[in-house]
A and B are shown apart, each in its own frame.
Chain A
Amino acid sequence: MPMLEKSTELQKKFWEIFDKQDRSKIDEFKVFMDKFAVNFNLYKDGNFIEQSLPFDVIPRIISKNEFATIEKGLQQRVHALNLFLEDLYTDAKIVKDGIVPQEFVEQASGYLKEFVGFSPSKKIRAHINGIDLVKDSADDQWVILEDNLRVPSGSSYPLSIRDTYRKIYPEFFETLKIEPIKQYPKFIADAMEYVNTGGLNVLLTPGRFNSAYYEHSYLAEKSGALLVRPHELTVVDKKVYFKNYNGKLIQVGAIYRRLDDEFIDPNFFNPESLIGVPGLVESYLAGNVALMNAIGNGVADDKGIYYFVPKMIKYYLGEDPILKNAPTYLPYFEKDRKYVFDNIEKLVIKDVAEAGGYGVLFGHEMTEIQIEDLKTIITANPRRFIAQELIEFYDEQCYLDKELKDRKADFRAYVVAGEDVKVWHCGLTRYALEEGNYLVNSSQGGGFKDTWVMEL
Chain B
Amino acid sequence: MEKYVTANVATNLYWLGRYLERVAMTLREIAETYDKVIDVDKDAGVKLYRKYDIELSYTNAYDFLNEAIFGDHSANLLTILTNARENAIICRHLLDSEAFGEIIALHALFKDTDNNHLEVDYKCMDHAQSLIGEIWNARSHREHQELSDSFFRIGKIVEEADHRIRHNEDDPVIQSIIQEIDTITERLVHDHKPEQKPMECKADLLNELNSKIDKIIIDRD
Contacts and interface: CB of A to CB of B under 8 A. Distances in A.
A binds B: yes
Given A231-B221, A247-B218, A36 B7 contact: no
Given A34-B104, A247-B220, 11 more contacts: A34-B108, A200-B4, A213-B89, A217-B89, A226-B4, A232-B7, A243-B6, A244-B3, A245-B188, A245-B216, A246-B216
A183 to B, nearest CB: 19
A243 B101 contact: no
A229 B92 CA distance: 14
B105 interface: yes
Interface residues of A, number: 25
Contacts of A234: 220
Contact of A244 (B5, B97, B100): B5
A208 interface: yes
Interface of B: 3-10, 86, 89-90, 92-94, 97, 100-101, 104-105, 108, 151, 188-189, 216-218, 220-221
Contact of A242 (B4, B86, B94): B4
Contacts of A231: 8, 221
A120 B80 CA distance: 47
A245 B105 contact: no
A252 B9 CA distance: 18
Q: Enumerate the 4 nearest inter-chain pairs by beta-carbon distance, A residue then B residue, closest first.
A: A247-B218, A221-B93, A245-B10, A232-B6
A253 to B, nearest CB: 13
A227 B218 contact: no
A36 B5 contact: no
A35 interface: yes
B146 to A, nearest CB: 12
A37 interface: yes
8 contacts: A34-B108, A208-B86, A217-B92, A217-B93, A229-B8, A232-B6, A232-B8, A245-B10
A65 B1 CA distance: 43
Contacts of A250: 4
A35 B8 contact: no
Contacts of B4: 200, 226, 242, 244, 250
A124 interface: no
A220 interface: yes
B93 A220 contact: yes
Contacts of B189: 246
Nearest to A218: B93
Contacts of A218: 93
Given A243-B6, A247-B220, A36 B90 contact: no
A36 B6 contact: no
Contacts of A232: 6-9
A275 B97 CA distance: 27
A218 B218 CA distance: 26
A188 B81 CA distance: 35
B104 A244 contact: no
A244 B7 CA distance: 6
Nearest to A233: B6
A228 interface: yes
Interface in A243-281: 243-247, 250
Interface string A207-221: 010000100011011
B188 A246 contact: yes
A35 B105 CA distance: 6
A245 B93 contact: no
A366 to B, nearest CB: 43
A234 to B, nearest CB: 7
A218 B104 CA distance: 16
Given A229-B8, A231-B8, A245 B92 contact: no
Interface in A175-223: 200, 208, 213, 217-218, 220-221
Contact of A37 (B9, B104, B216, B220): B104
A448 to B, nearest CB: 20
Contacts of B104: 34-37
Contacts of B94: 221
A208 B5 contact: no
A209 to B, nearest CB: 10
Contacts of A208: 86, 89-90
A228 B6 contact: yes
Contacts of B97: 36
B108 to A, nearest CB: 7
